[in-house]
Amino acid sequence: MTHKIAVLPGDGIGPEITEQAVRVLTALDLDLDLQTQPVGGAAYDVHGHPLPPVVLDLAKSSDAILFGAVGDWKYDTLARELRPEQAILGLRKALGLFANLRPAILYPQLANASSLKPEVVAGLNILIIRELTGDIYFGQPRGVREVAEGPFKGERQGFDTMHYAESEVRRIAHVAFQAAQKRSKKLCSVDKSNVLETSQFWREIVIEVAKEYPDVALSHMYIDNAAMQLVRAPKEFDVIVTGNLFGDILSDEAAMLTGSIGMLPSASLNSASQGLYEPSHGSAPDIAGKNLANPLATILSAAMLLRYSLGKAEQADRIESAVQKVLEQGLRTADIHEQGLTRVSTSEMGDAVLKAL
Amino acid sequence: MTHKIAVLPGDGIGPEITEQAVRVLTALDLDLDLQTQPVGGAAYDVHGHPLPPVVLDLAKSSDAILFGAVGDWKYDTLARELRPEQAILGLRKALGLFANLRPAILYPQLANASSLKPEVVAGLNILIIRELTGDIYFGQPRGVREVAEGPFKGERQGFDTMHYAESEVRRIAHVAFQAAQKRSKKLCSVDKSNVLETSQFWREIVIEVAKEYPDVALSHMYIDNAAMQLVRAPKEFDVIVTGNLFGDILSDEAAMLTGSIGMLPSASLNSASQGLYEPSHGSAPDIAGKNLANPLATILSAAMLLRYSLGKAEQADRIESAVQKVLEQGLRTADIHEQGLTRVSTSEMGDAVLKAL
Ligand SMILES: CC(C)[C@H](C(=O)O)[C@@H](O)C(=O)O
Ligand SMILES: CC(C)[C@H](C(=O)O)[C@@H](O)C(=O)O
């Protein structure tokens, strides 16, 4: 059976890191149909839109999407709906990619990269599960209006709507409990239920779903406290589940605890196991085209693609082991380079992973 | 002129830490009329409400409020509107305390307390200015409703409204620019304007206000990136201004970077310089009544009270120097204790500050 994969390199360093991941996928001797299209700013340049129909159609008809990164200063003056990041929001919504899995793993070989003390982060391995198609990201109504009453009557006001429906919370909770079952059986749900109605509702539903997973220990934490505890003692967390907005913040914070965000992949899945796979880092336009970027997060995203959307766990393991091996060999791109180790370029890192496969 | 100060010790460790701050205030030979009332859970126990009229009236008629902390597990089963934290939300709203100033300072004597590497945090001194009476904290409508249309039609849905009116953004921006003028003349405004209409509006207004402060360098950062950069290189920030929700998260994260949240005061001001002053930490019910808690954040909050609401900068300086002195003497409460230094109780720390005055 042929698996169709949409390859969307995007902007900045997107193309060069995606290229290495494609080399790795191609080397695995799987029956893959890889189709490449521009996305984000690159698609705007060609089609006048960051997510034109031809790209969206390809994505919809594929088993999985390998995504590079989008964004570049040069698109900053465009209207919001034409900016590169609209492509990623549009893909999430159109494909119903509600479950975002973001591991924050500190590779033992990279322990020094962290800004935290080694004893605080050594062995860190957290999985953040972020709801990705609901919340204030897509809630209507939103916009700018005139205030109707109260002390600011008559003024202009920017506004957005946060909301979660019952089944939206339920399905992400199931994903989270099942992930926790496969790991330490500890799940922490993060909300702001002391202030927000949406959060109080979220917490109620999570507690209901928990009854189906008696083997998982569920805890709850407010977002402000979670942001603190991640700094104080990140290893006390294992699986975290949270909404779209809080997940955006926490998953980036957790990623940065490792100091090596160039190593972290992510998966965004829908209920049919269709998924979008992308590195957790951005498009880094400042180093684009210089063969400097770290391709490992994208290569590890390709491994997640094989595991979650194609059911090829063995090949995913092979990629992950190959990445471990190149780290052990002391090969490092600039972002994670330390004295005494071998500094390599983007493509050299790709070469090394291929060899280690 | 007599200054009237409402003393609201609250729950948990609130009473014991507030007691030490009151001793310090009293020792300064100022004309103060200190009036104490219960608040939060303690007020619920007596009056059946966390912020009963007698307490609210006292707060309104005072020049400033010295606040301990609220919250205890034993109130967790109460309806949300009766829970201790409603007192603090109610006071902010009723008194219009829109400007929350939260310094995150790493005292050189406490450099080891941080979970971050010394070189990353040594000398850290950030001021977070959080808008405190708007945003999704108070936005209407909010609640639980039935979804009217779309894929979740007919289901229950929790929802909230985020919003900022023009003058709400304007006034907090002025506070922030003026604070930046007195410091490094660098201001970073944090939002999520790539996704939220409220944030886009916020950013527009901040840019407008910036024209009145040509000497301040204004930058903008998305909240997810700010949560990362605080971990990676916190010293690149000086003054940060942000909305109520993002400020809740960022100010706690920044506080925890110091590892000594027991040292950090806060001020919440309205346009008449009336203010509520409280430690940045919580009520810590687990150690309440044990004479273990660190009173320094509350004592430093009293210093902020003198500086911002009473215009007594000299006396504020005296308190701050006294705190420096006891740290230099090697006195430490349990939360910041290290081997080789002298461990003291809450009241002994109060004694030491009094002596150092
Ligand atoms: C680019 C932006 C819209 C996006 C988000 O906020 O979700 C990004 O920060 C992410 O986390 O993937
Ligand atoms: C107790 C809670 C409502 C409050 C808030 O979210 O504002 C607290 O976290 C704070 O920061 O003062």
Please indicate, yes or no, if residue B268 is contained in any of the structural domains.
no
The tokens of A120 are what? 């605080």
Q: What is the pLDDT averaged over residues A51-78?
A: 96
Residue A10 confidence class, pLDDT cut points 50, 70, 90: very high
Same domain, A146 and A239: yes
Same domain, A207 and A131: yes
Please indicate, yes or no, if residue B79 is contained in any of the structural domains.
yes
A63 is catalytic: no
Per-residue confidence (pLDDT) for residue B347, from 0 to 100 = 98
A158–B201 CB contact, under 8 Å: yes
Same domain, A174 and A192: yes
Same domain, A147 and A244: yes
Please indicate, yes or no, if residue A104 is contained in any of the structural domains.
no
Give the DSSP H or E segment for A137: none
Same domain, A144 and A237: yes
Q: Are A137 and A291 in contact (CB under 8 A)?
A: no
As beta bridge partners, residue B87 has none
Residue A1 confidence class, pLDDT cut points 50, 70, 90: confident
Mean pLDDT of chain A: 97
pLDDT(A76) > 90: no
Of A194, A223, A257, the residue that ends a domain is A257
Of all residues in chain A, what percent carry a pLDDT higher than 70?
A: 100
The DSSP output letter for A133 is S
Same domain, A155 and A245: yes
Per-residue confidence (pLDDT) for residue B12, from 0 to 100 = 97
- To the question of pTM greater than 0.85 for the whole model, the response is yes
Nearest to B190 by CA among B218, B164, B163: B218
Per-residue confidence (pLDDT) for residue B76, from 0 to 100 = 87
Query: A170 burial class (0-12, 13-18, 19+ CB within 10 angstroms)?
Result: middle
**DSSP per-residue letters across A251-309:** HHHHHHHTT-GGG-EEEEE-TTS-EEEEESS---GGGTTTT-S--HHHHHHHHHHHHHT
Of A212, A232, A257, the residue that ends a domain is A257
Task: Assign A343 to helix, strand or coil.
Answer: strand
Same domain, B10 and B46: yes
As beta bridge partners, residue A99 has A131, A269
Atom of ligand 1 nearest to the CA of A244: 7
Interface test with B, best of A196, A208, A335 (most B CBs within 10 A): A196
Ligand found nearest the CA of B245: 2
Report the alpha-carbon distance of residue A106 to residue A113 in Å, rounded.
9
Q: Is the CB of B263 under 6 A from ligand 2?
A: no
As beta bridge partners, residue B67 has B8
Q: What is the pLDDT averaged over residues A57-63?
A: 98
Please indicate, yes or no, if residue B106 is contained in any of the structural domains.
no
Q: What is the CATH number of the domain that holds A93?
A: 3.40.718.10
pLDDT(A89) > 90: yes
| Alpha carbon of residue A123 to chain centroid | 21
Q: Cis ω on the peptide bond leading into residue B52 (within 30° of 0)?
A: no
Same domain, A155 and A61: no
pLDDT(B1) > 90: no
Q: Which residues of B touch A153 (CB under 8 A)?
A: none
Ligand found nearest the CA of A221: 2
The domain tally of chain A equals 2
Residue pLDDT, tens place only, B44-67? 999 999 999 999 999 999 999 999
Q: Which domain holds residue B223?
A: 125-257
CA distances from B216 to A44, A239, B182 (A): 35, 42, 10
Ligand 2 binding pocket mutation candidate from B11, B80, B82, B88 (most atoms within 8 A of CB): B88
Please indicate, yes or no, if residue B281 is contained in any of the structural domains.
yes
Same domain, B330 and B219: no
Per-residue confidence (pLDDT) for residue A306, from 0 to 100 = 98
Same domain, A132 and A250: yes
Same domain, B319 and B238: no
Please indicate, yes or no, if residue A113 is contained in any of the structural domains.
no
Of A257, A282, A303, the residue that ends a domain is A257
The DSSP output letter for A216 is S
Ligand 1, atom 4: nearest CA belongs to which residue? A85
Residue A133 confidence class, pLDDT cut points 50, 70, 90: very high
Please indicate, yes or no, if residue A29 is contained in any of the structural domains.
yes
Q: What is the pLDDT averaged over residues A29-44?
A: 97
Same domain, A215 and A310: no
The tokens of A166 are what? 């019952």
Residue pLDDT, tens place only, A322-342? 999 999 999 999 999 999 999
Q: Is the CB of B253 under 6 A from ligand 2?
A: no
A197–B85 CB contact, under 8 Å: no
Residue B139 confidence class, pLDDT cut points 50, 70, 90: very high
Give the DSSP H or E segment for A242: strand A239-242
Residue pLDDT, tens place only, A291-305? 999 999 999 999 999
Please indicate, yes or no, if residue A327 is contained in any of the structural domains.
yes
